[in-house]
Amino acid sequence: MQNKVFRIEHIAKSFGSEKDHNYMEVLKDISMDIDEKEFIVILGNSGCGKSTFLKILGGIERATSGNMELHGKDIGQQIPREELKRFGFVFQSNNLLPWRTAEGNLRFNLQTMKLKGPEWEQRIDEMLDIVGLLDYKKVYPHELSGGMKQRVGIARALVHDPDILILDQPLGALDAITRKMLSYEILNIWKKTQKTVIMVTNNVDEAILLANRIFVFSNKPATITHEIKVDIPLEHRNHEIANDARFNELRGQINEIVRATL
């Protein structure tokens, strides 16, 4: 039996007061359990509240109501600061420090968390190797392609050895070819690291390729309309996946679900 990493119960989020004309209800009654080493994808239309949900899971925002448990510990409506070291974040914009090399960006993350010593220096090389950029450790961000910058961002998110990796549309700013290539890279990184991953996307093919389970969000206020188990074996999740009968069956089913929310 797998260990539960997260238990999310009836999470809601709104901005402003109900008496205020600027009041906005973004999330409504979101509940899910997330297991250790699981790859979860949150799928929904742009602006539906997916990123707000990730910000709550990552401690950036506080939920308006509901409750969360992290590794069996009740944490209420916001991740406590002392638990944030358990998380690694990758955003749509890579947010790399332009004056630091690839390895320097990873080292900055370790310095921020006050992690020092030869074992952590070695981990910088290990993480750059996992994302295929060890030979580029001395290179600055402006010398890297968009896909390479995002891979540095993933390595930086992993360097402090978090339990949970949170990916907020990490491929959204890339061109279609690079996006597809990097989606396979993310799959390989997950296989190698066995982290628990929670990712937001609005791309159905991407979701099916990567996820163990997909949660489909409605438009605002977002609720979970469907939970879909992706039962495609990992060995079939390769560059030939578009020929897989189950992949195409799930693609048709999920596209129909998403279209119904428009």
In one-letter notation, the amino acid at residue 253 is Q
Identify the pLDDT of residue 2: 64
Q: In Å, how far are 99, 102, 153, 250 from 149, measured between CA atoms?
A: 14, 8, 6, 31
Q: What is the pLDDT of residue 81?
A: 85
Sheet containing 4-15: give its strands across: 24-35, 4-15, 65-70, 73-76
Could you report the per-residue pLDDT of 116-149, keeping only the tens digit for each?
888 899 999 999 999 999 999 999 999 999 889 9
Q: Could you tell me which residue, 248 or 91, shows the higher pLDDT?
A: 248
pLDDT per residue over 44-95, tens digit each? 888 888 989 999 988 889 999 999 999 989 999 998 888 888 899 988 777 8
Q: What is the pLDDT of residues 182-241, one digit of tens each?
A: 899 999 999 989 999 999 998 999 999 999 999 999 988 999 999 999 999 999 999 899
Answer for the pair 198, 164: CB distance below 8 angstroms, yes or no: yes
- 211: its two tokens: 């996820």
Span 154-166, pLDDT tens digits: 999 999 999 999 9
SS3 of the chain: CCCEEEEEEEEEEEECCCCCCCCEEEEEEEEEEEECCCEEEEECCCCCCHHHHHHHHCCCCCCCEEEEEECCEEEECCCCHHHHHHEEEECCCCCCCCCCCHHHHHHHHHHHCCCCCHHHHHHHHHHHHHCCCHHHCCCCHHHCCHHHHHHHHHHHHHCCCCCEEEEECCCCCCCHHHHHHHHHHHHHHHHHHCCEEEEEECCHHHHHHHCCEEEEECCCCECEEEEEECCCCHHHCCCCHHHCHHHHHHHHHHHHHHHHCC
Q: What is the CA radius of gyration of the chain?
A: 19
Question: How many Å apart are CA 79 and CA 198, to the nearest integer?
Answer: 15
How far is the C-alpha of 125 from the C-alpha of 247, rounded, in Å? 35
Taking Cα atoms as reference points, which of 198, 162, 197 lies closest to residue 87? 162
Which domains, from first to last, does the chain contain?
Answer: 4-90+164-253 (3.40.50.300)
CA distance linking residue 29 with residue 8, whole number of Å: 10
**pLDDT class of 178 with cuts at 50, 70, 90:** confident
Give pLDDT, residue 1: 47
What is the pLDDT, as a whole number, of residue 254?
A: 94
Omega cis (within 30) before 221: yes
